Structure 1
Amino acid sequence: MQILTLFLVALVALEHIGIAGLEMFAKPDVQANAFDMPVNFVKTKEAQTALSNQGIYNGMLGLLILMMILFFTGSTLKMILILMMIYIIVVAVYGAVTATKKILYIQGLPALIALIFVAIFYH
């Protein structure tokens, strides 16, 4: 079950890297659809700058999670992963309240499932 747990956590990390790709490199039409924003707003320089800034945070978070899996083990890794999944859940709740509810399901739910697996099955 530990391998499945780490696989789920890695999927959460890869999801954040993918979101970063959308935020930083996708066309405005795709970004507007993905993030429930008006396309005219997304095409503005200010929105593109904000999305890119947000994208680098998501990408680095995904990379950080993957690096933690590679460099730590045991109780240290368990604590790091618990804290990181809680962080993602809190951010997803905030995003659901302030931006769009689908953030809760797209980012928060996978992190919650991974958190449960880490808490129960990772030793």
Structure 2
Amino acid sequence: MEILTLFLVALVALEHIGIAVLEIFAAPEKQAAAFDMSLDFVKQKNAQTALSNQGIYNGMLGLLILAMILFFTGPVLKTIMILLMIYIIVVAVYGAFTATKKILYLQGLPALIALIFVLVFYK
């Protein structure tokens, strides 16, 4: 079950890298649809800058999670996974209140499932 747990945490990481790609490189039409924003808003230079900035954070978070899986083991890895999954859940809850409720399900739920697996199955 530890392998499955690491796989779920890695999926959370890959999801954040995918979100980063959308935020940084996707066409405004895809960004507007993906993030429940109006196309007129997303086409604005300031919105593109903000999305790119947010994309860097998501991408680096995804890379950090993957690196942590590769470089740490045992109780240290478990602690880091717990902290990062809680971080993602808190950010998803905030995003659900301030942006769109879909963030809670698309980002928060996978992190919650991964957190449960870490707590229950990772030694």
Scaled to the shorter chain, the TM-score interval is: over 0.9
What CA RMSD, in Å, does the superposition of the two structures yield over aligned residues? 0.2
Shift of 1:122: 0.3
Shift of 1:116: 0.1
- 1:53-81 C-alpha deviation (Å, 9 max, x unpaired): 00000000000000000000000000000
What number of residue pairs does the alignment pair up?
Answer: 123
Alignment match, 1:6: 6
Shift of 1:44: 0.5
TM-score, structure 1 length as denominator? 1.00
What letter corresponds to residue 118 of structure 2 in structure 1? V
CA distance in 2 between counterparts of 1:87 and 1:50 reads 20
Alignment match, 1:111: 111
Alignment match, 2:20: 20
Alignment match, 2:84: 84
CA distance in 2 between counterparts of 1:26 and 1:54 reads 13
**Which aligned runs of 4 or more in structure 1 are off by greater than 2 angstroms?**
none
What letter corresponds to residue 17 of structure 1 in structure 2? I
Alignment match, 1:122: 122
CA distance in 2 between counterparts of 1:120 and 1:77 reads 14
**SS class of match (2:53):** helix
Write the mapping of 1:2-81 to structure 2, written as runs, cut at 5 A. Answer: 2-81=2-81
TM-score, structure 2 length as denominator? 1.00
CA distance in 2 between counterparts of 1:21 and 1:5 reads 25
Aligned residues: percent identity?
81
**What stretches of structure 2 of length at least 5 have no aligned partner?**
none
